[in-house]
């Protein structure tokens, strides 16, 4: 009898597929149904397709796949084990068929004890919030405590400084009172006390006074030393400058700007004596301190730039000097406060650099501007006005205007003799300059007289190898050669 071809029903499992293929998870079979069938099945179970799909995923997928696994060793060992896993699923416990991941077990734990977990989380959050609040409060309290301690320290420091200032004021008043007793008629016994004698008396007293106030002592030494230097009393100035610098370097509570001031004073003294190599590192250190503390545009920085540029110019290093002068002048022109004599010298010294380089047209307006500013700010009788007039005179001389040059030189000489005294090295420099002008005009007799006056002052105040003293000697020798002597 012929064998009939069997009718293949697509809804029945294919025996070959079951025997050979991998079993499919219920959730996947559910997804393969058409929408109508999924709706019918869901309604029969009093739910909706989405909820039924979520229910099939996870535990039920794993339970069914374990139950129908092709490998007998991977199946449940008995119907009781299958039933136990189904009960675990219903109690939201981890099923044996599921993967043993921490996340899966945590989810099951939360699902079983949702109320307990929520309560615990709320407690943890509350505790965490409390810790954060307490931490912030502690930090705020620490800041407030630190501020209070700092304020107390500042108050104590302010009181300490006030007490030091009060004691210093009392000591200064006593010092000045004792100093000026030398002018008392009963003490002087008819003698006239000069400013130089008063200065010397002050220097003597300051060397032995203020033993418990070293910074005050250094300040007085610096002031007196600077006056000695400007008067051309260089030996008297050096000892005080040296001692002031030593004191200021040793005092930890001292101001570094005071150290810079002492360095600057010593360097200026060395420069006046022609010891330019000794002055250079002092000027450089003073500039470095001021730039570090005050920034790039302070007037004290401008002065240090000017001083170092002067030194470079004296050493013939004009390429290094000019940018420093220009920086200094820029600070001067932008400065809003009242000008000081020292502050304006950068205008003057840039002009003298151009003068040394024979750039007379560039030098003249700078020097005229300097003289005008000095006269407006400090009046006609100021040493810087005199020096500016002297250099402006040389510009006019080199430009061929000998008459104006002589007039400017004479004005300068009159101011210097009146303000600094007839024996000052600045007076000698001006006398020597006038002598050079007269020699250039063929007025040899007048030139020689001025040269000799200048040399007499320089021999008394400057070392033998000083450039200005050597220039005066050279001028006299040139006159002698011209006269055939």
> In 10 A of CB 399, how many CB atoms?
14
Coil/strand/helix, residue 304:
helix
Residue bearing tokens 């004599």 = 341
Buried-exposed string 117-145: b where 16+ CB fall within 10 A, e elsewhere: eeeeeeeeeeeeeeeeeeeeeeeeeeeee
- pLDDT value, residue 473: 95
- pLDDT value, residue 1: 34
Q: Distance (Å, rounded) from C-alpha 125 to C-alpha 33?
A: 46
What is the 8-class DSSP label of residue 68? T
The sign of the CA dihedral 387, 390, 395, 398 is negative
Tokens representing residue 389 in the block: 């007039």
- pLDDT value, residue 341: 63
- pLDDT value, residue 173: 45
- pLDDT value, residue 133: 47
- pLDDT value, residue 144: 65
Residue 399 near residue 393 (C-beta atoms within 8 A): no
Coil/strand/helix, residue 28:
helix
- pLDDT value, residue 233: 85
> Residue 184: which region, alpha, beta or left (left: phi > 0; alpha: psi -120 to 50)?
beta
Tell me whether residue 341 is exposed, middle or buried, using C-beta atoms within 10 angstroms of its C-beta: 0 to 12, 13 to 18, 19 or more.
middle
Count Cα neighbours of 416 within 13 Å in the Cβ-side half-sphere: 25
- Give the residue among 435, 434, 433 at the shortest CA–CA distance from 447: 435
Tokens representing residue 441 in the block: 């005009």
- pLDDT value, residue 26: 74
Tokens representing residue 206 in the block: 């300051």
Tokens representing residue 8 in the block: 């293949």
Query: Which residue ranges make up each domain of the chain?
Result: 23-111, 113-189
Give the helix/strand (H/E) hosting 19: helix 15-20
Residue 175 near residue 181 (C-beta atoms within 8 A): no
Residue 448 near residue 434 (C-beta atoms within 8 A): no
- pLDDT value, residue 76: 73
- pLDDT value, residue 124: 39
Q: Distance (Å, rounded) from C-alpha 204 to C-alpha 275?
A: 27
- Give the residue among 474, 387, 281 at the shortest CA–CA distance from 466: 474
* Geometric angle at alpha carbon 388, from 352 and 355, rounded to 5°: 20
Q: Quickly list H helices, 79-213.
A: 79-90, 102-112, 114-180, 185-188, 195-208
Please give the chain's pLDDT, 485 residues, in tens. Answer: 333 333 333 333 444 444 445 667 777 766 777 777 777 776 766 677 777 667 666 777 767 776 776 666 667 777 777 777 677 767 767 767 666 454 444 555 445 554 444 444 444 344 444 444 445 555 666 666 666 666 566 555 555 554 554 444 545 544 554 444 444 444 444 444 466 776 777 777 777 766 677 888 888 888 888 888 888 888 888 989 999 999 999 887 788 999 999 999 999 999 988 899 999 999 999 999 999 999 988 889 998 999 999 899 889 899 999 999 999 888 877 876 666 665 677 878 888 999 989 999 999 999 999 899 889 888 899 888 999 999 999 999 999 999 999 999 999 999 999 998 999 999 999 999 999 999 999 999 999 999 999 999 999 999 998 989 999 999 999 999 987 76
Residue bearing tokens 């912030």 = 136
Buried-exposed string 12-34: b where 16+ CB fall within 10 A, e elsewhere: eeeeeeeeeeeebbbbeebeeee
For residue 118, what are the CA distances in angstroms to 76, 124, 306? 35, 10, 77
Residue 371 near residue 385 (C-beta atoms within 8 A): yes
Tokens representing residue 249 in the block: 């370097």
């Amino acid at each position: 009898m012929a064998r009939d071809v069997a009718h293949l029903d697509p809804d029945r499992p294919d025996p070959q597929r079951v025997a050979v293929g991998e079993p499919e998870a219920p959730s996947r079979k559910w997804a393969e149904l058409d929408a109508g069938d999924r709706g019918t099945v869901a309604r029969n179970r009093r739910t909706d397709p989405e909820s039924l799909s979520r229910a099939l995923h996870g535990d039920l997928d794993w339970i069914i796949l374990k139950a129908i696994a092709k490998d007998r060793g991977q199946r449940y060992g008995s119907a009781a084990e299958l039933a136990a896993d189904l009960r675990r699923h219903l109690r939201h416990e981890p099923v044996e068929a599921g993967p043993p991941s921490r996340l899966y077990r945590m989810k099951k734990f939360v699902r079983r004890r949702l109320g307990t977990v929520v309560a615990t989380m709320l407690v943890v959050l509350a505790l965490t919030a409390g810790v954060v609040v307490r931490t912030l409060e502690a930090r705020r309290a620490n800041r407030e405590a630190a501020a209070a301690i700092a304020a107390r320290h500042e108050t104590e420091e302010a009181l300490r400084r006030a007490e030091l200032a009060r004691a210093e004021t009392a000591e200064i008043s006593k010092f000045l009172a004792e100093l000026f007793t030398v002018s008392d008629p009963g003490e002087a016994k008819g003698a006239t006390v000069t400013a130089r004698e008063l200065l010397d008396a002050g220097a003597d007293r300051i060397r032995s006074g203020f033993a418990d106030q070293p910074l005050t002592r250094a300040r007085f030494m610096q002031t007196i030393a600077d006056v000695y230097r400007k008067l051309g009393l260089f030996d008297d100035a050096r000892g005080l400058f040296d001692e002031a610098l030593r004191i200021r370097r040793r005092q930890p509570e001292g101001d570094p700007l005071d150290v810079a001031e002492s360095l600057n004073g010593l360097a200026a003294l060395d420069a006046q004596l022609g010891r330019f190599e000794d002055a250079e590192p002092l000027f450089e250190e003073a500039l470095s301190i001021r730039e570090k503390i005050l920034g790039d545009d302070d007037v004290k920085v401008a002065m240090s730039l000017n001083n170092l540029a002067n030194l470079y110019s004296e050493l013939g290093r004009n390429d290094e000097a000019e940018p420093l002068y220009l920086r200094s002048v820029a600070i001067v022109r932008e400065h809003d406060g009242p000008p000081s004599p020292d502050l304006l010298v950068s205008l003057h010294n840039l002009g003298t650099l151009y003068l040394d380089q024979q750039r007379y047209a560039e030098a003249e307006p700078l020097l005229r501007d300097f003289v005008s500013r000095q006269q407006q700010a400090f009046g006609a009788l100021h040493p810087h006005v005199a020096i500016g007039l002297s250099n402006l005179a040389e510009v006019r001389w080199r430009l061929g205007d000998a008459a104006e040059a002589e007039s400017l030189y004479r004005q300068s000489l009159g101011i210097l003799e009146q303000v600094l005294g007839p024996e000052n090295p600045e007076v000698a420099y001006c006398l020597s300059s006038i002598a050079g002008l007269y020699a250039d005009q063929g007025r040899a007799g007048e030139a020689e007289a001025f040269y000799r006056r200048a040399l007499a002052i320089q021999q008394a105040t400057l070392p033998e190898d000083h450039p200005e003293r050597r220039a005066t000697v050279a001028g006299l020798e040139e006159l002698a050669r011209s006269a055939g002597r």
